[in-house]
A and B are shown apart, each in its own frame.
Chain A
Amino acid sequence: MKNVAMLLLACSCASAMGSVYAAGGTCAAPVALSPLNAAGSASGNTCTDGSGGGATANQVASYCGIQDLSNQPQEVYSVTLAAAGSAGRTATSLSISSTTAAFSATMYLFPGTTAADCANGGPPCGQTGDKTSAIDLTATDVAVATAGTYYLVIGANQVEAKAATACGDYNLTWNNALPVKLQGFSVH
Chain B
Amino acid sequence: MLPTLFATLFAAAQAQLPSLTAEPCDFGETYQLSAVHCTAAYTNNSEKPMRVAAQAAMQFDKVAPATVSIAPHSTAYFELTANVENDRGHAEHFFYAVSDADTGLKVYTKASGFVVPLLDGPAPQIDFGVVGMGFGATEPAPKSITLDTHEVAGFRLQSIVKAPVYLDCKIGDDGRTLIVSFKPSAPWGIVGEYVVVSTNTPKQPTVSVRIKADVHGDVVPGENPVQFGIMRLGNKNESLIQLKALSGKDFKVGKINLERLHAETEVKPCIPAAIGCNTLHLSILDTQPLGMVSGRVSIELPEYDRQLNLVVGGLLLKKDAIVKDLKETDAQRQSAVTTPSNTVDLRMALRNATKPVDSTTPPGNGPLLKWSVANEDFVYGYIIYRSATEGGAYSRVNAEFIYPQKSETGASTYQWRDSSTVPGHEYWYYIGVLKQNGARQDLTGPQKVVAK
Contact = CB atoms under 8 A, between A and B. Distances in A.
Contacts of B429: 187
A17 to B, nearest CB: 8
Given A76-B317, A178-B348, A182-B371, 4 more contacts: A21-B238, A24-B240, A67-B94, A128-B94
Interface string B212-244: 100000000011011111111001111111100
Contacts of B289: 61-62, 65
Nearest to A49: B322
A119 B313 contact: yes
B447 A187 contact: yes
Contacts of B96: 68
A59 B290 contact: yes
A10 B313 contact: yes
Contacts of B238: 19-22
B441 interface: yes
B24 interface: yes
A35 B331 CA distance: 12
Contacts of B191: 120
Interface in A64-107: 64-69, 75-80, 93
Nearest to A69: B291
Question: Which of B94, B368, B438, B441 has the most chain A CB within a 10 Å cutoff?
Answer: B94
B383 to A, nearest CB: 13
B268 interface: no
5 contacts: A40-B333, A122-B192, A141-B121, A178-B374, A185-B372
Contacts of B176: none
Contacts of B65: none
B294 interface: yes
Given A20-B314, A59-B317, A93-B377, A139 B324 contact: no
Given A122-B192, A133-B436, A20 B230 contact: yes
Given A120-B190, A159-B94, A180-B443, A62 B292 contact: yes
Interface in B61-120: 85-94, 96, 106, 108-110, 112
Contacts of A181: 352, 373-375
B340 to A, nearest CB: 13
Contact of B110 (A9, A64, A140, A159): A159
Contacts of B295: 119
Contact of A185 (B226, B316, B371, B377): B371
Q: Which 7 A-B pairs have the closest CB atoms?
A: A115-B313, A10-B313, A120-B192, A129-B92, A14-B229, A60-B291, A141-B122
B57 interface: yes
B431 interface: yes
B108 A158 contact: yes
Contact of A159 (B108, B223, B230): B108
A21 B314 CA distance: 12
B236 A151 contact: no
B236 A183 contact: no
Interface string A154-187: 0000111010000000001101111111111111
A19 B228 contact: no
A22 B333 contact: no
Contacts of B275: none
A139 B439 contact: yes
